[in-house]
């Protein structure tokens, strides 16, 4: 048998397995992340499942290890409460990437099995272990049974010959493989790597290569563990381990020989990790930002490569460089070895350990039109933000950050590239003319159905909660209005075009967020009446030409929820059309009327 077959057989009742067999295998480490973890819990609780062995069951928080996103903060707390209840170990936000945690803490070792909600669990192939990403239902079942079914895959053997060029790093190595095999040539295969160049790879290099097996479409990239890897794993597990090796007569579906002396520094062009090309083809492409980290390149050797290039240099003007170690242990070593000082002196941003640019991205996401060079493993559209992402080695990313454009360590210019913001006079005039608008005369009298919300101190978090602050399109804001105001969570669904809202004192206190104004416009609310407003909210509304008015007493008009009223902004006259009652409120001030008629401050 080959390595994957031996691991599966050793963890099942079968002494021998072959491709196509389905085996029920025992899982040594059963893991869920903050990404997917709550759904695992939901499946367990809905089906009344017990936990097979809490000593082998873990949660890892790595997709948003700052809890800066409200959804992730909620997910993490759901997991903490469940873990406390069942006595399950949580590697919390101060820990780092979960897959790295497993071998760093001796929870995975050569020949062991792991499943997790992380699609890059096959990174464990770096130590000769079986790791698989699985869905929420699968992981819940493994938490309960301690086992799962798995179909034995076909295997491919890659034999590497030649000497690796000195300027080719581990990331370049795997990008050269992506260039050769693409995303589906080896789809569904377990791939084993052999040759002197493989034997001499460090653990950090193996991790980088193994972590991109998912992007190649393989089940796993398996490295036969060398003596250094065995020593590391024995230190971390605290016990003597058996080395996992393929039999001399192991059977492979395919076998390829690859000469690594032909490998060159590479980049993956935006959108597809497998669109990997010689970096010379994209050299001098101007960048806005650079990122070093992720499960692919957040190791100590990666940090040292970046420090080597940044020492005595500065990040190019207008370029942001973000560095995120994969684990807190590596972060601490960066501090102890003086790398943190080098990073900061160069102008880089250093974050706590975690996944960073991938998934939720506590740091490292980019914006529309932004060009980023990244050490991540994926550059699918939207994966690391809304901009364009090139993938490259840590050395190439650091060199590019200093140069201001895509380059390599041996081609860093004395003077970095800068951004040219100069506009010719005629271009500036054209830009101004394109923004000039003519405004229609806006109505001074409106009619509408009334919402009466008899509450004071409705703050902006009640109006538009901070968990939605990433929304910048006004058309998307209305659906969230009042969903954090108790009793009115369904306001947005029940509100009708032309409605008018009446509230109490101090409406819109709290944050300065404009969304708490613009969301009402999106819903079609015509105006808000309040006894008083938060100072910032009042200015925001007036400057946005959204009608807000102040009243002292509405008793004479006998306004009730659902009545139809008529308002005159210029005179302040309020008519209750449903009851034929009248009262007077504060009309628009002169400046409010001018801004309203202008369609806003601009």
For the stretch 259-311, pLDDT in tens is 999 999 999 999 889 999 999 999 999 999 999 999 899 999 999 999 999 99
Residue 436: per-residue pLDDT:
54
Residue 508 region by backbone torsions, left for phi larger than 0, else alpha for psi between -120 and 50, else beta: left
Whether 34 and 133 have beta carbons less than 8 Å apart is answered as: no
Length of the chain: 602
Residue 7 to residue 433: CA distance in whole angstroms: 69
User: What tokens were used for 384?
Assistant: 């690391």
Kind and range of the H or E element at 190?
Answer: strand 190-194
pLDDT at 508 over 80: yes
SS3 content of the chain, % helix, strand, coil (to 5): 35, 20, 45
Residue 138 to residue 115: CA distance in whole angstroms: 9
Closest CA to 6 of 198, 225, 152, 134: 152
Half-sphere exposure at residue 437, Cβ-oriented, CA atoms within 13 angstroms: 10
pLDDT at 592 over 90: yes
- Average pLDDT of the chain, as a whole number: 92
* 425 pLDDT tier (thresholds 50, 70, 90): low
pLDDT at 582 over 80: yes
Helix (H, G, I), strand (E, B) or coil at 177: helix
Residue 202: per-residue pLDDT:
97
pLDDT at 427 over 60: no
Mean pLDDT within 327-348: 97
Residue 471: per-residue pLDDT:
79
Mean pLDDT within 538-567: 94
Residue 386: per-residue pLDDT:
83
Residue 361: per-residue pLDDT:
63
Ranges 100-114, 223-237, 498-512: which has the least confidence: 498-512
Threshold 0.95, pTM exceeds: no
Whether 139 and 236 have beta carbons less than 8 Å apart is answered as: no
* 431 pLDDT tier (thresholds 50, 70, 90): low
Residue 472: per-residue pLDDT:
76
Dihedral sign for Cα 516, 521, 525, 528, please. positive
Mean pLDDT within 510-524: 89
Domains in the chain, start-ordered, CATH in brackets? 3-262 (3.30.499.10), 291-411 (3.30.499.10), 445-598 (3.20.19.10)
Whether 309 and 410 have beta carbons less than 8 Å apart is answered as: no
Proportion of the chain above pLDDT 90, given as a percent: 78
Which spans in 11-104 are helix H? 37-46, 70-86, 98-104
Whether 120 and 96 have beta carbons less than 8 Å apart is answered as: no
Whether 249 and 153 have beta carbons less than 8 Å apart is answered as: no
Helix (H, G, I), strand (E, B) or coil at 285: coil
Residue 300: per-residue pLDDT:
97
Closest CA to 197 of 219, 241, 166: 166
């Amino acid at each position: 048998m080959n390595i994957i077959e031996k691991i599966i057989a050793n963890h099942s009742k079968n002494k021998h397995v072959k491709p196509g067999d389905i085996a029920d295998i025992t899982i040594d480490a059963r893991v869920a992340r903050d990404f997917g973890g709550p759904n695992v819990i939901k499946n367990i609780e809905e089906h009344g499942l017990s936990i097979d062995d809490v000593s082998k069951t873990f949660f890892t928080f790595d997709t948003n290890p700052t809890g800066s996103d409200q959804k992730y903060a909620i997910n993490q707390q759901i997991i903490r409460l469940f873990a406390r209840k069942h006595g399950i170990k949580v590697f919390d936000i101060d820990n780092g990437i979960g897959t790295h945690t497993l071998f760093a803490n001796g929870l995975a070792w050569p020949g062991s099995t792991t499943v997790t909600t992380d699609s890059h669990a096959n990174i464990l192939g770096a130590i000769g272990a079986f790791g698989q990403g699985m869905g929420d239902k699968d992981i819940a079942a493994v938490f309960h049974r301690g086992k799962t079914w798995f179909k034995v895959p076909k295997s491919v053997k890659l034999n590497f010959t030649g000497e690796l060029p000195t300027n080719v790093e581990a990331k370049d190595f795997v990008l050269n493989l992506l260039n050769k095999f693409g995303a589906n040539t080896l789809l569904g295969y377990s791939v084993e790597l052999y040759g002197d160049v493989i034997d001499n790879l460090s653990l950090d290099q193996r991790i980088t290569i193994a972590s991109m097996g998912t992007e190649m479409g393989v089940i796993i990239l398996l490295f036969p563990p060398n003596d250094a890897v065995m020593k590391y794993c024995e230190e971390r597990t605290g016990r003597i381990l058996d080395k996992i090796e393929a039999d001399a007569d192991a059977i492979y579906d395919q076998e390829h020989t690859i000469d690594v002396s032909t490998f060159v520094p590479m980049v993956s062009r935006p959108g597809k990790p497998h669109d990997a090309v010689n970096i010379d083809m994209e050299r001098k492409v101007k960048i806005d930002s650079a990122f070093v980290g992720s499960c692919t390149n957040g190791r100590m050797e990666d940090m040292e490569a970046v420090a080597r290039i940044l020492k005595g240099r500065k990040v190019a003007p207008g370029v942001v460089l973000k560095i995120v170690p994969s684990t807190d242990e590596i972060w601490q070593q960066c501090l102890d070895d003086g790398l943190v000082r080098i990073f900061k002196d160069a102008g880089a941003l250093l974050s706590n350990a975690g996944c960073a640019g991938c998934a939720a991205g506590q740091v490292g996401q980019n914006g529309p039109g932004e060009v980023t060079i990244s050490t991540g493993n994926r550059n699918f559209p939207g994966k690391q933000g809304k901009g364009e992402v090139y993938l490259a080695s840590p050395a190439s990313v650091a060199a590019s950050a200093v140069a201001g454009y895509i380059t390599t360590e041996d081609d860093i210019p004395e003077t970095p590239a800068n951004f040219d913001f100069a506009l010719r006079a005629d271009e500036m005039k054209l830009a101004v003319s394109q923004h000039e608008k003519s405004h229609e005369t806006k109505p001074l009298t409106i009619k509408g159905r009334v919402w009466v919300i008899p509450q004071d101190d409705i703050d902006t978090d009640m109006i538009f909660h901070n968990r939605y602050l990433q929304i910048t399109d006004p058309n998307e804001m209305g659906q969230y209005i009042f969903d954090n105001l108790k009793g009115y969570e369904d306001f947005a669904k029940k509100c009708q075009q032309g409605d008018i809202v009446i509230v109490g004192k101090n409406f819109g206190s709290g944050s300065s967020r404009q969304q708490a104004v613009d969301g009402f416009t999106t819903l079609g609310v015509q105006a808000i009446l309040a006894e008083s407003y938060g100072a910032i909210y009042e200015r925001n509304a007036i400057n946005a030409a959204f009608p807000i008015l102040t009243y002292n007493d509405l008793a004479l008009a006998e306004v009730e929820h659902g009545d139809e009223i008529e308002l005159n902004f210029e005179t302040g006259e309020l008519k209750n059309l449903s009851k034929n009652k009248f009262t007077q409120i504060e009309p628009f001030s002169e400046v409010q009327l001018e801004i309203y008629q202008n369609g806003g401050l601009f």
